[in-house]
Structure 1
């Protein structure tokens, strides 16, 4: 964004003179003046947006999460959370509104990180762990040391601004924590006996001494996943592994399955994709046997859908919005994981697993989705 801004400002400056960017003829200078004024005006507003200092806390932005995990405005006089929802239109400038939204999103990321540690009891594992922590990224684990887990659940988010613990920033801001974060998956996984590991594939660089520096072993999503797989998953010698991957996380998972085919054959008993954007032509055979992709569709939840010859089985996520798929299909996805786990144990000659109990049924969003699990707002979930 900053690079584009500088280029735009330079272009606007050049446009302000007859011999500038557009090489105006002298006779056209007067006619071009309104265009020049508009360009320069936009440039000034963008510069003002970039120089604005934003708060570093939710309270500073005037927001807080209520008991239902919904972001609401704080009353300036009483300091109490109101029923007023997020307001995108804060300024008259589109660029300033977007910058404000993104700054709030950065604070949301830190809020989720803090909540994972303080309320959910998650532990940070650093990547890499042999450099100063301010130069490393991290993943989250339900245990301080992943060591021979009986059941390990790995959660991989999509691309963009989301970080560990999030499925969709827009849902956290405009809907609720349940639909936008991975916390319900963590809680349900724990109920079913999983140790849970959250990847952080989009956290790829740090600013060190004023310079942007790539994080070793995490320069891009796939490299991050490979590093975590080798350092924290393979090294822990897990008995069994399940993976849930949303959107571009599916692309990362397909690449892992290509590189570590033996591990996927021997240890990974199930992969639940949520509206994955992988290329069907690249899917290895092992994923076709253990994977299922819940995609956007108008069909009822878990309805089997048509697929191409080389793709993973596709089922309806019970929702038409891409970002909602992880939340809306959660009950069906965990039923799939448990079914696959029972088959995995049976193939190894172990006794079949007892029938699992269902989680509480909660409604947390205005989208009328009912999803069985222990909600963030539930007493059982805290």
Structure 2
């Protein structure tokens, strides 16, 4: 983390949806603090609430969703209390921008790429006409699009998937936001392009002084870009720490399971690890630790009482009863121990 200045503070957020006459609790009392200039990765299985959580920062919840309780403090304003489009228009894009998963559906096929970047500039940066166009070309160049003047006049269908993703990033950056949320920014791209996009975001973060939130289900993707990692499960943040703490000294059994699922930890000829069971039904009230039914190390109390956060270090905490001083000592899986040993050896080599 570059400094201790908070740019966003979420406290005990509860988000509910009405679906076919039933109520679903998508976010169950999640809390998080975001610091200026950092890269924070929010990871977890599909359906764990990552996108819903961050969409609430921009007023992008579906019409049947609502913030039930809790607060989202940004620049001394509680965004959880915002109700109208007039309120959100001051935040959306200008203060907090988002790069969505699918670049093809994010772009207008009937407008040139340059015009779409220019629109953001005209809307949020008080520049018009030639001035806005000049900046749009500069931003297209910044996101790694060669011959930006020529590409400015082209349409989205003339771009490859990786190039479209660069355009979507350019549109978000053109808003000149403080916070950039990247929702699975590399999902639809092949591995080499993934690395290029992540490096691009790193470069843009420095140039435009961005605070970035990455949303992903793949811990491997964010290993080299995240300063901190928040692990989400069933609508709650169950572990939060510096990147190296969560990778090499994870404490929650769900984080163990997520890391064990990484293909690079697999052993040739052996079946890849997968987490048994399914996430809980969010239409029902969850008692105790939501991961308990899938946790081979679950204690009796896991099924009865929700664990509080236990502090591991000043920067690392986890919601698991295994950290209670009275709990039996449980060693992490061999794959986690192996990762730790590899890191220790790497550190020794560097010394």
What's the TM-score once normalised by structure 1's chain length?
0.28
- Return the structure number with greater relative CO, CA threshold 8 A, min gap 6: 2
Per residue, is there more strand in 1 or in 2?
Answer: 2
Per residue, is there more helix in 1 or in 2?
Answer: 1
